Amino acid sequence: MNCRHCKNTIKHGFLDLGFAPPSNEYLNEKDLFRVERYFPLRLSVCEKCWLVQTEDYAKADELFDADYAYFSSTSRSWLAHAKQYSEDITNKLNLSGDSFVIEIASNDGYLLKNFVDAGVPCLGIEPTSSTAVAAEKIGIPVLQEFFGERLGARLAQEGRQADLICGNNVYAHVPDINDFTLGLKRALKPDGTITLEFPHLMQMIAQAQFDTAYHEHFSYLSLSTVESIFNTAGLSIWDVEELQTHGGSLRVYGQHIDGGREQTAAVSELLHEEDRFGLRKIETYADFQARADTVKDDLILFLIEQKRTGKKVVGYGAAAKGNTILNYAGIKTDLLPFICDAAASKQGKFMPGSHIPIYPPSALEEYEPDYVLVLPWNIAAEVKEQNKHLSKFNTKFVTAVPKLEIK
């Protein structure tokens, strides 16, 4: 395998989670009697540009199809994050009714609705029809296409270059990251700004976040690697922010390489921090597999112990990261009888691989669990607050990553 960015031959493995189904391929009851698709789930690291990437098995159009079940608006904290970003970037760039905003992977309109409300013209680009239709219903114009250089060039030819191109948690999801980045350049006005948010590889390693590995994540990104990808496409990074979302993310601010904005000190400071952490040393990646196995083993032992002592444990959050850990650990309904999720698009379905049924959150009250395993640990505080009424049953909340914690 060659690196998706620099084309260097890949020699070093980073994580091997065996075989797993696509993490967002939720099942209907009739699907339980059919053969599921499984792909190897392995990550490798390029020793030249240090891009961590999945091996080439699954294709994007097989993973992001018409029935894609992830709707961004399900999470209240994510909606609040999007609203704050919209207000901040509007002020920072002086966006107005004369500006034009493009969001790539606009999902159900969770972000762009804030620009619509503010009177800032915008366009969503979203390949999955289930979420695109939801966005269109609230008045957001959407192109149902995958984004890349060809679409970016077409937008430019149509006179639809943007003052702001934003993409939240999409950069890691594209199989051809060079083509995607060239698309950003083509669709950006000469003085425009790009903002991309993505989970930070340094935090993934530091906190043993192996469950953020799934087929839909083709890349695992550091600032230094993204800087290389941007520079190759004729773009530069002029600012960066560290965020708490998804267990530790970055928001990078990009421009054309000959753009007029000076690079802030935050960029060089974070690049130095990544070097100190060792992101350019192969030794840093060597023990990640063992740490992932420890997290997996501790979770299995906890669930078995609760079963043997007659305690009731259920899951919360039918998230992609939850599917990764459940399938790697081989957890089925004997240890976790069901999972609750607030997304109506997932309720009544089954988790891929494990076949654990997904119920609405009201099922928690009826079941009176001793423990709730919060699979999307990044929103554990939000889940606990939303279900504080379970305190009457003395219910405790559990997270498995970066280590098993009971609260």
- % pLDDT > 90, the chain: 90
Q: With a threshold of 0.85, does the pTM exceed it?
A: yes
Kindly report the number of other CB atoms within 10 A of residue 152's CB atom.
26
pLDDT at 77: 84
Averaged pLDDT, 77-99: 95
Tell whether the model's pLDDT for residue 32 goes beyond 90: yes
Q: Which domains does the chain have, with CATH numbers?
A: 146-285 (3.40.50.150), 288-406 (3.40.50.720)
Residue 308 scores a pLDDT above 90: yes
pLDDT for 201-221, tens place per residue? 999 999 999 999 999 899 999
pLDDT of residue 117: 96
Give tens-digit pLDDT for 362-373.
Answer: 999 999 999 999
Q: What is the pLDDT of residue 181?
A: 98
> Which is it for strands 235-243 and 249-256: parallel, antiparallel or unpaired?
antiparallel
| Token couple for 372 | 């709730």
The neighbour count for residue 117, using CB atoms within 10 Å, is 11
- When pLDDT is cut at 50, 70 and 90, the band that residue 58 belongs to is low
pLDDT digits (tens, 9 = 90+) for 247-269: 899 999 999 999 989 999 999 99
Q: What is the mean pLDDT of the chain?
A: 94
As a whole number, mean pLDDT of residues 298-307 equals: 98
Sign of the alpha-carbon dihedral angle for 177, 183, 186, 187? negative
> Who has greater pLDDT, 177 or 71?
177
Q: What is the pLDDT of residue 91?
A: 97
In the predicted structure, residue 66 carries a pLDDT above the cut 50? no
Residue 40: closest CA among 64, 26, 53, 21: 21
**Do 136 and 142 form a contact (C-beta atoms < 8 A)?**
yes
pLDDT of residue 55: 85
219-220/39-45 β-pairing? unpaired
